[in-house]
A and B are shown apart, each in its own frame.
Chain A
Amino acid sequence: MAERLLTVKDLSTHFFTHAGVVKAVNGVSFTLDRGETIGIVGESGSGKTVAAMSLMRLIPDPPGKVVEGSLMLGEKNLRTIDDDEMRAVRGNDIAMIFQDPMTSLNPVMKVGKQIAEAVMLHQHKGKTEAWQMAADLLARVGIPDADKRINQYPFEFSGGMRQRVMIAMAISCNPDVLIADEPTTALDVTIQAQIIDVVREMQAQFDSGVILITHDLGVIAEISDKVMVMYGGRTVEYGPVDEIFYNAHHPYTWGLLASLPRLDESVKKRLTPILGQPPNLITLPPGCPFTARCPYRRQQCRDNWPDHENVGPDHGVHCWIPVEERLTIRGDLRQFKEPAA
């Protein structure tokens, strides 16, 4: 069995604002093993980014606070270690690639220095050595003329190239856990394909665990081993990637899959949208956040959050619909009837 890198249990992160308490993440649990990629999928406001930021202890406090749960990196408790220890964890053990490569780099600092800074800080290397490492890293993520490029500023790089710089920076200290928050959302598709390849190669080389946050189920299908589907701050379903795509048990997962226009569809079919609007995180019901939009909701849904139910190997779901009934409903849904060839 692979080494367990990360164990997150019952994580809740709330923001205390004037308008009320924003319950961004509510009792999220997952684990990450070495060499594994877990995809967190959900719409804006579902809590995916806040969950990742909580791991890095990057939630601005106030107004935000991790109110509950345990975050274990191996034997290290990320909730109780002091700030100095946490600073050592960031970059060294857990590194993050942010969504927007345009704003995440310092515009007035040479990219070489931005990478070398992390190396000098975490690996206690001298300046010359750190710069040499920066050049090597840039070459490794596929930037041509790396020796020259380290002396350039971010504005001299294109979007895809900046994202490569971000990846170089993230892998500079050989982290165990790599969090990629929508790493390709701001990029064109042909560039997205390049970046996904780089992430995959880096993972293979360093044998890291990757947490990939995205709203794009296509990207999830491409590189995830496990998937966690989030809605309104809760995990509604999680499991191995094939289970989520071919044996989904939660109405929200069904809805997501049905609402996608697909490139491999030969006949033009009408899309099945999820009706209604995303929930307000301040006025979430105590029960399932999807209740208001769920076509199969019942009495207890709004007021009680269902326990986790195992429906397959490592495949869990939170839903009040009894399992037999769920399978009957799903059997009538189009996207499960006609699997794409």
Chain B
Amino acid sequence: MSLLEVRDLKKHFPIRTGVFKRTTGYVYAVDGVSFTVEKGETMGLVGESGGGKSTVGRTVLRLTEATGGDVSFEDIDVMKASRSQMITLRKDMQIVFQDPYASLNPRMRIRDIVGEGLKIHGIGTEAERKKRVADLLETVGLNSEHAERYPHEFSGGQRQRIGIARALSLNPKLIVLDEPVSALDVSIRAQVLNLLEDLQDEFGLTYLFVSHDLSVVKHISDRVAVMYLGKIVEISDSAVLYDMPQHPYTEALLSAVPIPDPHTERSRRRIVLEGDVPSPANPPSGCVFHPRCPRAHEICTTAMPKLVSTDDAGLRHQMACYFPARFVDGKRVVSDKPYTDALPEPKA
């Protein structure tokens, strides 16, 4: 049994215009996303802005209500959970936000920020909570005396540690990490990534790690899902995905990341995608990637391919493309015959 199971998750934000705020369209932020996260693993969600990765993280926790689909956490149906069930569930599912400057209330002391969850759930006495907060601060590499201070007294990296301490306070099983290191400088980023790895080992945590930074996602994740315009286009074990990407978007994304090594950089061939990411309010017909895809054919404009695995890749590696790169005897092959297994089932 997976810890978290997401099936066909959809989140469409209505676009309201005019005096009467009539709904004139939808932003298809997340459009039919399915994946599972096993206990103790780190699942990375990666993609460019507008891909819907943050929305997936938030919808899973019901911080925004989904438009459709199912989410089950330890076999509990999160989408149908009542208010009181949700309160209990939230103990097990926590989140760390991207912006350490905006996600801590500037008027609250660190003690109250980190201890708020404990208080809400009525855990321990005042003195026990105080002790717990002090322990948590030590766990994330801060000083227990810091509890009496206010957020503005801390640097970005320290604030992110406070956000992590807050997420840890209720002993959660799953933590959604929404771009947790994107706002931090490189030297501080490494500190926080190491801390997250240590905490995972110590408390057996499961992470859903959302980031646009492929190097970071590769470093921390066991499995990675690549998102583009609200869909998962490829999902696989981290090492496999980076070594043998099958989807053209994954290939382009990987090749676009500059590597901090001048020799490597000079010898690399880069796939530069043309154009911009289309608006999720008006996604292209057929495969969402086809207008920018260097391998687009006629068939790509007809229907979005479904996530399938090719026989050479193994079941844990799935992609949604009619012209995937295949790896036959270690050699990369791209056929110009469409891979028909990826054709979606006709709608009933």
Q: How far is the CA of A259 from the CA of B216 in the complex (A)?
A: 11
Contact in complex: A221, B260 (CB < 8 Å): yes
Contact in complex: A222, B215 (CB < 8 Å): no
Q: Does A20 contact B (CB under 8 A)?
A: no
| 5 closest cross-chain pairs (CB), A and B | A218-B258, A261-B219, A273-B190, A259-B190, A274-B187
Contact in complex: B272, A261 (CB < 8 Å): no
Q: Does B194 contact A (CB under 8 A)?
A: yes
Contact in complex: A277, B259 (CB < 8 Å): no
Closest to B156 in A: A44
User: A221-B262, A268-B219 in contact; A263/B257 too (CB < 8 A)?
Assistant: yes
Q: Which residues of chain B have C-beta atoms less than 8 A from A161's C-beta? A: 276
Please classify the interface of chain B as helix (H, G, I), strand (E, B), loop, or mixed, using the class held by over half of its residues.
helix
Q: Does B334 contact A (CB under 8 A)?
A: no
Mark A87-126 against chain B: 1 for CB-CB distance below 8 A, else 0. Answer: 0000000000000000000000000000000000000000
- Interface bin, chain A: 35 or more
Q: Does A175 contact B (CB under 8 A)?
A: no
Q: How far is the CA of A228 from the CA of B258 in the complex (A)?
A: 18
Mark B209-233 against chain A: 1 for CB-CB distance below 8 A, else 0. Answer: 0001011101110000000000000
Q: Does B253 contact A (CB under 8 A)?
A: yes
Number of residue pairs A-B, CB distance < 8 angstroms:
135
**Min distance, Cβ B248 to any Cβ of chain A, angstroms:** 12
Q: Which residues of chain A have C-beta atoms less than 8 A from B265's C-beta? A: 218, 221-222
Q: Which residues of chain B have C-beta atoms less than 8 A from A220's C-beta? A: 260
**Min distance, Cβ A100 to any Cβ of chain B, angstroms:** 14
Contact in complex: B197, A270 (CB < 8 Å): yes
A-to-B contact residues, CB < 8 Å? 43-44, 158, 160-161, 188-194, 196-197, 215-222, 241-242, 245-246, 255-266, 268, 270-275, 277-278, 340
**Min distance, Cβ A295 to any Cβ of chain B, angstroms:** 13
Q: Does B49 contact A (CB under 8 A)?
A: yes
Q: Does B254 contact A (CB under 8 A)?
A: yes
Contact in complex: A264, B261 (CB < 8 Å): yes
Contact in complex: B260, A188 (CB < 8 Å): no
Q: Does B109 contact A (CB under 8 A)?
A: no
Q: Which residues of chain B have C-beta atoms less than 8 A from A188's C-beta? A: 48-49, 212, 277
Query: Out of A158, A192, A215, A270, which one reaches B194, CB within 8 Å?
Result: A270
Q: How far is the CA of A196 from the CA of B258 in the complex (A)?
A: 10
Q: Does B191 contact A (CB under 8 A)?
A: yes
Contact in complex: A44, B259 (CB < 8 Å): no
User: A215-B185, A215-B186, A255-B187 in contact; A340/B261 too (CB < 8 A)?
Assistant: yes
Closest to A267 in B: B239
Mark B148-172 against chain A: 1 for CB-CB distance below 8 A, else 0. Answer: 0000000101100000000000000
User: A188-B212, A189-B48 in contact; A263/B256 too (CB < 8 A)?
Assistant: no
Q: How far is the CA of A1 from the CA of B217 in the complex (A)?
A: 44
Contact in complex: B185, A44 (CB < 8 Å): yes
Contact in complex: A218, B260 (CB < 8 Å): yes
Q: Which residues of chain A have C-beta atoms less than 8 A from B87's C-beta? A: none
Query: Out of B155, B212, B261, B276, which one reaches A160, CB within 8 Å?
Result: B276
Q: How far is the CA of A291 from the CA of B195 in the complex (A)?
A: 24
Contact in complex: B264, A264 (CB < 8 Å): yes
Which of B254, B259, B274 is the most central at the interface, judged by chain A CB atoms within 10 Å of its CB?
B259
Which of A196, A222, A255, A266 is the most central at the interface, judged by chain B CB atoms within 10 Å of its CB?
A222
Q: How far is the CA of A86 from the CA of B205 in the complex (A)?
A: 58
Q: How far is the CA of A258 from the CA of B254 in the complex (A)?
A: 21
Q: How far is the CA of A294 from the CA of B273 in the complex (A)?
A: 41
Please, could you name 20 A-B residue pairs with CB atoms under 8 Å apart, sorted by A? A43-B185, A43-B187, A160-B276, A189-B212, A190-B272, A190-B273, A191-B48, A193-B272, A194-B272, A194-B274, A221-B258, A221-B261, A245-B261, A246-B262, A255-B187, A264-B259, A264-B261, A271-B194, A277-B158, A277-B188
